Structure 1
Amino acid sequence: MAAHGGQPVWREQRGILHSLRTYPAFRLLFGTTLTTNAAFWMWSLLIGWLALVLTDSPFFVGLTGFLNGIPMLLVSLPAGVLIDRLDRRLVLFVAQVVVALATVSLVLLLWLERLTPWQLLLAAFVSGAGMAVVFTTRSALVANLVGREALANAVALISTAQNAPRIVGPALAGPLVSAFGLTGAFAVCALFQVASVGITWRLPAVRPSGNRSPFWGAFVEGLVTVWRREQLLALMALATLPTLLIFPYMNLLPVFARDELGLGATGLGVLMALNGLGAVIGSVAVAARREWGESPRVLVATVLLFAAAVFAFAQTSVPWLAAAFLSIAGVMGAVYMATTNTLLQLAVEDEIRGRVLSVYLLTWGLLPIGTLPAGAVADHWGAPLAVSLLVVLAVLAIGAVALRFPLLRRSSLVSEQRFSADTGRS
């Protein structure tokens, strides 16, 4: 594919909104990502606060986060096989219906004043299972709806759509709790989820070109592909460690807000919103600077800066300083995640894309494994110590991975030959 002067089209400079202007189907995916993640970030704040109000136990907050996140570990790989076989639009639609039903059920239980701790844990698990399929399917759909020249831009824009609601969702959830209680706040969350279902139904059908080998064989093929390709293995290792050892701080934010910073639900919402603002800035930066999204060197640098910002946040009891460090963590975390996603998308063929991306999403399932012990340590010795210990371990492990895989120190790992996508222009 050539442009003026014999240069590849994908090397031409494009605007930040190139994918949105060029691909109508991608605009729909962007829209449903906005509404889904508005609900998701509201849910993240509300379920943690509800767990704390219901039980007054940091451990129960951690347990709720564990059950909300563990489906990512259980569901991602089977979901990857399904989305390499079935209409990806339909899979996404069904998953979003499940998430909406879980939230509506919680609203009814709160309204009837019948909610018990075990019901909250069940709702967290069901919602988490649905979101695991949503995240996996949506990641695979990006490459089906845009061309090769727009992939890095599209991934960064989807990251922006995922992170922008981190500003609005928590900032809206806190005041909603104050004004209408948890029932009203969860009801608004459910409305966003219903809107997502409607937008998703308008997406075009996307039937992948994957093979029809037996389910178990296809399941194993995804794992074997990651294991045998050093580039994929290195990226998965670098995706695993922050999820396991750094991101658990997110589930402990209600504890930090109340016990360390002296804030209520509104203050917690502001903290999460500022963290989301940082993430939006990071995502937009990657959308504007395409080369960042394709650089393993940027990946390693930003994940280390992300760790430093979270460590600094855990040390302070001053609200404005905590907010500043959370904003920086949001920037660095977003660049790190968008870069990881782009490099993975560029490294795989479409017929196995769902399974490889499901392995990546599987690493997100390790979050509750880090959250549960973090909650237990926080219960006995405080949240700052719990987060600090995990971050130190993360930095040591990330350094070891960077030494083990020299390719992570390169400026680019682009592999155009592996990219295959439908353009989704109609």
Structure 2
Amino acid sequence: MVEESLERRPGGRGGALYSLRVYPAFRLLFGTTLATNAAFWMWSLLSGWLALVLTDSPFFVGLTGFLNGIPMLLVSLPAGVVIDRIDRRLVLLAAQVVVAAVTVLLVALLWLGRLQPWELLVAAFLSGAGMAFVFGTRSALVANLVGREALANAVALTSMAQNAPRIVGPALAGPLVGAIGLTGAFAVCALFQLLSVAITARLPRIRPAAGGGSFWRAFLEGLETVWRREQLLALMALAALPTLLIFPYMNFLPVFARDELGLGATGLGVLMALNGLGAVLGSVVVAARRHYGESPRVLVVSVSLFAAAVFAFAHAPVAWLSGLFLLVAGVTGAMYMAATNTLLQLAVEDTVRGRVFSVYLLTWGLLPIGTLPAGAVADAWGAPLAVSVLTVLAMLAIGLVTLRFPVLRQTTLWPERSRTAPRIG
């Protein structure tokens, strides 16, 4: 819980921006999320482009994405225990400092002209490790900063803050590369990261949700919570599939832009910005319509449409059509992610929230596992075939998981309680 009583200001009960109007502390979390994710999406574009410039190899682009994502698989579970036992504000602050320091060091190496490909791989890994803590802590913090009545709205707004920078970040990074070079563009990325640190420092202190005891026992408790609740197990299974089989397409956008569409860094930035615009629109829909974020059925439909949109993007012959399909992928992908986050927030108590979300983030660790073999296929037969194979497998797997877990075909995870959620905190 927040160290002081949860501060609230008078405001209307409805509307897409309800949590921002009523909860000042949530506004700070929203602001630091905007800054962090602006840097994150700039990093995604710049590191992929830098990998391509350094090596001219789609496989190395995939390897960079692999090493940036694999820490999610390695550290998310122990990170969950830390998030539940230590002031979440301090955990978030420390993680953001690490990420900013890595980018500043990368800027220095670029400025000195001494950056080697292997050093980019190390930077990608360290940055990914820091972001694993950032994502987990930020997800757990949402329920600490708003009341229960605002939780679904706050989750959707957090998703909006995560996705809005996908418009600004890449759209800014592409032209910056042309105007001031990769070194200058990475320096701007570092400034956004430092801004996020400054905002996070103003968040209220959060009392640890869990008590002491064995670290190992606390670690296992998070896994047991997911395994014993069918609703959570279904959500985790459905979360793992798009991470493994759909989202790897993001790492190959530089390859699509240059090799398939004949675009430069600016064109790549436009494509990523369109994808981000779609994600913002999807988040707004979920924020404005609470029941969208609380329905497993919406979750299944949106993730299926997400896979179809990415498949269509892989076969688009011209840039404008690629942008259109990326826009649709952004809308449906954001609706899927917002619904997943809302359902998870409503399904768990605060004492295990960090650990349950660390299991969810563990599914994001599957991203590099899908990216690395896809990079090898893209090297040999082209990025369109690699992405097509992954998305077809995704659609088949989504169907199988939906059949396995009947709860995913319902309009609520708790039909016996109508639309009443479990107690939070």
User: Fold conserved (TM > 0.5)?
Assistant: yes
Deviations 1:89-140 (A, max 9, x none): 0000000000000000000000000000110000000000000100000000
Q: Is the 8 A contact 1:92 1:138 kept in 2?
A: yes
SS state of the match for residue 262, structure 1? coil
| Residue 315 of structure 2: aligned partner | 315
Displacement of 1:163 in angstroms is: 0.4
Cα distance in 1, alignment partners of residues 207 and 422 from structure 2: 19
Contact preservation (8 Å) 1:227, 1:233: yes
User: Which residue of structure 1 lines up, in the alignment, with residue 373 of structure 2?
Assistant: 373
Contact 1:248–1:368 (CA under 8 A) maintained in structure 2: yes
Note the residue ranges of structure 1 that are not aligned, 5 or more in a row.
1-11, 422-426
Paired position in structure 1 for 2:424 = 420
Give 1:360 shift. 0.3
Could you give the per-residue CA deviations for residues 52-110 of structure 1, whole angstroms, max 9, x where no partner exists? 00000000000000000000111111110001100000000000000000000000000
Provide the secondary structure at the position in 2 that maps to 1:418. coil
| Contact 1:350/1:419, CA 8 A, preserved across alignment | no
Q: Determine the structure 1 residue equivalent to 2:92.
A: 92
Equivalent residue, structure 1, for 2:147: 147
Whichever residue aligns with residue 338 of structure 2, its letter is A
Tell me which amino acid in the other structure corresponds to 1:241. Answer: L
**Counterparts of 2:161 and 2:256, CA distance in 1:** 27
> Distance in 1 between the 2:370 and 2:220 partners?
26
Please give the residue correspondences for 1:207-226 in structure 2 after superposition, counting only pairs within 5 Å.
207-226=207-226
Amino acid at match of 1:229: R
Give the whole-Å Cα distance in 1 for the aligned partners of 2:218 and 2:310: 38
Whole-angstrom distance in 1 between the partners of 2:356 and 2:284? 25
**Paired position in structure 2 for 1:399:** 399
Distance across 2 between alignment mates of 1:394 and 1:413: 23
Measured in 2, the distance between the counterparts of 1:120 and 1:48 equals 10
Deviation at 1:208, TM superposition (A): 2.6
Tell me the distance in 2 between the aligned counterparts of 1:342 and 1:209. 19
**Partner Cα separation in structure 2 for residue 213 and residue 301 of structure 1:** 42
d(CA) in 2 for partners of 1:51, 1:302: 32
Report the secondary structure of 1:34's partner residue.
Answer: helix
Output aligned runs, 1:227-306, within 5 Å. 227-306=227-306
C-alpha distance in 2, partners of 1:270/1:123?
A: 25
Distance (whole Å) between structure 1 residues aligned to residue 94 and residue 298 of structure 2: 36
Aligned counterparts, 1:68-217, within 5 A: 68-217=68-217
Residue identity matched to 1:202: R
Between Structure 1 and Structure 2, how many residues are aligned?
410
Please show how residues 34-53 of structure 1 align to structure 2 within 5 Å.
34-53=34-53
Q: Distance in 2 between matches of 1:150 and 1:305?
A: 28
Match of 2:3 in 1: none
Structure 1 residue 45 displacement after superposition: 0.2
Separation (CA, whole Å) in 2 of partners of 1:342 and 1:142 = 10
Shift of 1:212: 1.6
Larger mean Cα displacement after TM superposition, 408-417 or 97-106: 408-417
Q: Does 1:409 align with 2:386?
A: no
Match of 1:5 in 2: none
Aligned sequence identity (%): 80
Letter of the 1:18 partner, please give it. Answer: Y
1:387 is aligned to 387
Amino acid at match of 1:255: V
Aligned to 2:4: none
- In 2, Cα distance between the equivalents of 1:303 and 1:368? 19
Q: Distance in 1 between matches of 2:302 and 2:421?
A: 27
For 2:146 and 2:216, the matched residues in 1 are separated by 30
How far did 1:317 drift?
Answer: 2.2
Mapped to 2, the partners of 1:225 and 1:249 lie a distance apart of 32
Residues 154-199 of structure 1 show CA distances to partners (whole Å, capped at 9, x for unaligned) of 0000000000000000000000000000000000000000000000
Shift in Å at residue 417 of structure 1? 5.5
Q: Distance in 2 between matches of 1:417 and 1:79?
A: 26
Identify the residue that residue 5 of structure 2 maps to in structure 1. Answer: none
Q: Give the residue type in structure 1 aligned to 2:253.
A: L
Q: What RMSD in Å do the two structures reach over aligned CA positions?
A: 1.0
Encode CA deviations 1:17-54: one digit per residue, 9 max, x unaligned: 11001111000000000000000000000000000000
Q: One-letter code of the match for 1:80?
A: G
Inter-partner Cα distance in structure 2 for 1:219 and 1:107: 37
Alignment partners' CA distance in 2, 1:258 and 1:209: 48
Residue pairs, 1:338-377, within 5 angstroms: 338-377=338-377
Amino acid at match of 2:174: G
The 3-state SS of whatever aligns with 1:119 is: helix
